[in-house]
A and B are shown apart, each in its own frame.
With several copies, the nearest count.
Chain A
Amino acid sequence: MIRVQREDFDCGREMAALTRGNTRIGGLATFVGLVREVPMTLEHYPGMTERKLAEIEDEARRRWRLEASLIIHRYGRLEPGEQIVLVATAAEHRAAALESCAFLIDWLKTKAPFWKLEETASGPRWVEARASDDEAAARW
């Protein structure tokens, strides 16, 4: 399941909804990305964003046997400490959940069309793509 939204999300509620009623699930891995230090505005490409997130989720479900998965990504202006993204994967055993969760956030970072504009002390600054993110995505 994927969602692209301006509003915040409730991790506990999303995690409970993801696993509820499925007692084949033995492990749930999640990753939450948070705004560090300075406010930022997340711009995205409506339409393509949903499409890419769904493709990435499909790829995870091809590579691992997952019982459930969820990606929520926010856009718009966010303050420090606010949640940006939630990735959650549930599987019978922990390895599939942990690996696919790391895979999803690594791929999302380099493939989902989002751009961050930070409000730094010296003015607005577009966050630059990092080579380490390409390397993290390439290892899968």
Chain B
Amino acid sequence: MRLLYFAWIRQRIGRHEETVERPPEVTDVDSLIAWLRNRGPGYAEALKDASAVRVAVNQEYVPLKHPVRDGDEVALFPPVTGG
């Protein structure tokens, strides 16, 4: 899976993107976020409040229950503020 982070989630995690092997327990966005929180204090801080996190899988907004699969591009970011 290719993971992308934006805005303060990127800053707290300390990187913009990474490619990870999907562990078997990661089957949806929810379990991905839970798994990421254990990767280090930056991740834990960035993702502590899942309600503040928006998620896109393959560049489409998805809810927390959306499945994630090998090869997916999963992006985590705060609510958008463009325009």
**A84 at the A/B interface (Cβ < 8 Å)?**
yes
Please report the C-alpha to C-alpha distance between residue A122 and residue B56 in the assembled complex, in whole angstroms. 32
A118: nearest residue on chain B (CB-CB)? Answer: B81
Contact A112 B83 (CB under 8 A): yes
User: Across the interface, which residues of B come within 8 angstroms of A10, CB to CB?
Assistant: none
**A114 at the A/B interface (Cβ < 8 Å)?**
yes
> How many residues of B are in contact with the other chain, CB < 8 A?
16
User: Across the interface, which residues of A come within 8 angstroms of B59, CB to CB?
Assistant: 45, 47-48, 51-52
Contact A33 B83 (CB under 8 A): yes
Contact B83 A115 (CB under 8 A): no
**B80 at the A/B interface (Cβ < 8 Å)?**
yes
| Besides A113-B56, A114-B81, 14 other A-B contacts (C-beta < 8 A) | A43-B7, A43-B10, A44-B82, A45-B59, A48-B75, A111-B80, A113-B6, A113-B77, A114-B82, A115-B81, A117-B7, A127-B81, A129-B78, A129-B81
